[in-house]
Chains A and B, each alone.
Chain A
Amino acid sequence: MLYPAAQLVRASVSQFSVTGLSEGFVGLRNYTRLFRQEPLAMVVANTVVWVAVVVAVTIFLSLALAQLLGARFPGRTLVRWALIVPWAASVIMTSKLFAWIYDYYFGVLNPALQALGILSYPVDWLGDDATVMGAMIAVGVFVSLPFTTYVLLAGLQGISPDVFEAARVDGASAWRTYRSVTLPLLRPALLVATVLNIIYVFNSFPIVWTLNDRNPGFGHDTMITYMYKIAFKSSLRDVGLAAALGVVNVLLILLAVVGYLKTVRWREEAA
């Protein structure tokens, strides 16, 4: 793990020709150049929206799904297996499948929504600036659900039934029990699920790359796809500059995770 990290740092302080040929040490010049890039602010904003919304919606839906899968009902095994499918499929294939579902001319989403009377005219989900991010977030949530649900389900099943029994005897309502008993006891599982999701969603490349590949410019890129474009797909074509962004990305994700853990611990102490 140290070797690639050292390589990344070394590349970030070197100058490279378009071909990838190293032209020597340039100190922090790539970093100062990076912060002068015009699209950077928008890309950072996109990244914050992408990570925050995907993680929040995923956790919220996973809590509900975990509750459902924890309950006994006919066909539970089947549903549990079905939930694994989006996890087992490669994210690239899933993204391509969704690119097709969203397609303006060939996709199934527009006809379905029109048939249901939800839309009166078709929408170019992946071409319209207003809908691209939402379309990507939906796929991000879809592929994050299985893992998160299973982490939370494991957490739920780790809670002793006695606690619920005690809450019932005390006459607590279902909602009250959930808020005052289940959620606090799920805290460790929630913490793990959130931290891992933040890292995973931040670093996710295939979804944004595949669903956004038709759009020129950097209007819907996250910091990960922007890094790739800086290196290979924009007129910058500069692996040194991209490496600088790579280093910034690693630091940022560390900062985000530490920040999250600090906030959570602070709240715990305050409570």
Chain B
Amino acid sequence: MQRRPTLLWWVSSVAVLLAAACDQGSGAKSRALTSIKVVIADYSKDHTRPFWQSLSEAYTKQTGIKVDLQVVDWNSIDQQVTTMIQNNQPPDVLNLNAFSSYAKDGLLHSADEVLSPRTREDFLPAFVRGGEYQGKLYGFPILSSARAFFYNKDLLARAGVAAPPRTWDELVTAARRVRALGADTIGYALPLGPEEAQAEWAIWMWNNGGDWKSGDQWAINSDKNLQTLKFLADLANKHKVTQVNPGKTNRTDGAFQLFKDGKVGMVMGFSPLAKQLDADGKIRYAVAEMPTNIGTAVTLAVEDYLMAFKKPGNADAVKTFLDLYYQPETITRWIRAEGFLPVTRSGLEQMRADPGLTPYLDALPSAKLAPTTDPAWDKVKLDVQQTIGLAVQPGGNPKQVLDRLQQNAAAAGGR
């Protein structure tokens, strides 16, 4: 007959498990490095995994070190990386759209330790600045993108709009005309849902002379920004030229989808959208500068990062891997395939030859980056994503939303 487990048995098993949980991670000390973990965000099903797979194979061939490659969906990458760090199993190389919190926590190698000077000198200066934390480079640019103003040529022509709008007033006029074409036609598709609201908002904010910060201080609720948010609310509720519920529309499956379907006159897009539109061949579109309220058009550039985590004895192995990626032909081959923009001088030269990229490459020098170098941004960004859409809904309160964002941002910077 089997004895039932006693209370003592239960208590001791729980104790053992807890001890195991606490002890985890401290076991893996300096053994000879046989493999590195590389975590890459999935930019596209067609190109991301094949590229990094073949790069990993080349690396293993050269060094004998295996690569544990993980290509992770954007939707779950924050969660997976957090869990890795929580369990004390960080990757050796990570690709993400943020880096400064990791640098702040002292988890990263700086460029001095893992980049050869030749690689580093090839980076475009703006992207070096975008990857620095306290004067040192921790976020190595992996690729970039820039937003541009997309318009549907047929819809604008039918609405009698001769040229794409250059100012906010012209935008309102053009959008109203397009909207008047039919019940289902949308003048301007405004995605302020949680997916990427901070990007859409930033472009409008900058084109009215506002900014995230003034000097070192957050300035989210400045008068300029309040004026901007009220303007966006007016687009939705007064002029009624946007899609239904713009505060609750995401970018990829919302605004872009509507534009691809020919329902939208104007939208802010980026080069991967152009690639998809060209592949579909359904919409006649063109790309222009952002309409501005201050005379000079400003656009948003996005820099994504590679970073190297400090793990005992991994610096050389990581350095070899990064050098392999940053070989001019290699990095450019991948950025081209994914439809993004270069982050290196050599890449910029090579990609100049592509006429389709001219509008983005021209916009790149005057483009602004999000304040990713401030660790507080990682929280501010999420706060903007979860709240700014509420301000443009009927009955929304732009001032209250901005004041709240400002208050939270100031508090996030304090810690």
A-side residues, CB < 8 A to B, are 2-3, 6-7, 10-11, 16-22, 104-106, 124, 126-128, 213-218, 228-229, 231-237, 239
Contact = CB atoms under 8 A, between A and B. Distances in A.
Interface stretch (B76-84, B337-345, B355-363): B76-84
Given A213-B250, A234-B382, A234-B383, A6 B85 contact: no
Contact of B386 (A127, A231, A233): A233
Contacts of A22: 86
Contacts, number: 121
Contacts of B39: none
A236 B101 CA distance: 14
Contacts of B85: 19-21
A19 B100 CA distance: 10
Interface in B370-413: 375, 378-380, 382-383, 385-390, 408, 412
29 contacts: A3-B20, A6-B17, A7-B21, A18-B379, A19-B81, A20-B85, A20-B86, A21-B105, A22-B86, A105-B261, A127-B244, A127-B248, A128-B245, A213-B195, A214-B195, A214-B249, A214-B254, A215-B193, A216-B194, A216-B247, A216-B389, A216-B390, A217-B389, A231-B79, A232-B78, A233-B386, A235-B379, A235-B408, A236-B379
A228 B194 CA distance: 14
B281 to A, nearest CB: 20
B249 A127 contact: yes
Nearest to B405: A235
B178 to A, nearest CB: 15
Q: Which 6 A-B pairs have the closest CB atoms?
A: A235-B383, A20-B82, A127-B245, A20-B85, A216-B389, A127-B248
B294 interface: no
B101 A19 contact: yes
B18 interface: yes
B388 A19 contact: no
Contacts of B408: 235
Given A10-B21, A215-B194, A237-B379, A231 B82 contact: yes
Interface of A is mostly: loop
Contacts of B263: 105
Contacts of B380: 235
Given A233-B78, A233-B385, 13 more contacts: A6-B17, A6-B21, A10-B18, A11-B86, A19-B102, A20-B85, A20-B86, A21-B105, A22-B86, A216-B193, A216-B390, A233-B194, A235-B412
A239 B193 contact: no
A11 B245 CA distance: 38
A234 B384 CA distance: 9
B13 interface: yes
A105 B194 CA distance: 19
Contacts of B382: 233-235, 237
Interface string B163-185: 00000000000000000000010
Interface in B241-287: 243-245, 247-250, 254, 257-258, 261, 263
A249 to B, nearest CB: 17
Pick the most buried of A3, A20, A217: most chain B CB atoms within 10 A of its CB.
A20
B364 interface: no
A225 to B, nearest CB: 12
A215 B393 CA distance: 11
Interface string B92-135: 00000000011011010000000000000000000000000000
B58 interface: no
Contact of A216 (B102, B105, B107, B386): B386
Contacts of B389: 215-217
Interface string B321-340: 00000000000000000000
Nearest to A236: B379
Contact of B84 (A20, A105, A106): A20
Interface in B140-197: 184, 192-195, 197
B248 A215 contact: yes
A236 B378 CA distance: 10
B128 to A, nearest CB: 22
A157 B177 CA distance: 65
A6 B194 contact: no
Contacts of B17: 2-3, 6
B105 A19 contact: yes
Contacts of B379: 18, 235-237
A216 B197 CA distance: 10
B97 to A, nearest CB: 14
Given A216-B386, A232-B78, A235-B408, A16 B86 contact: yes
B184 A216 contact: no
Contacts of A127: 244-245, 248-249
Contacts of A105: 184, 243-244, 258, 261, 263
A6 B22 CA distance: 10
B250 A21 contact: no
Contact of A2 (B13, B79, B105): B13
A6 B14 contact: yes
Contact of B387 (A6, A216, A231, A239): A216
Contacts of B250: 213-214
A127 B247 CA distance: 9
A95 B244 CA distance: 21
B86 A104 contact: no
B328 to A, nearest CB: 32
A20 B385 contact: no
B183 to A, nearest CB: 10
Given A10-B18, A127-B249, A214 B383 contact: no
Interface string B11-33: 00110011011100000000000
Contacts of B13: 2
Given A10-B18, A106-B261, A233-B382, A239 B82 contact: yes
B194 A104 contact: no
A6 B86 contact: no
Most B-side CB within 10 Å, residue of A11, A18, A239: A18
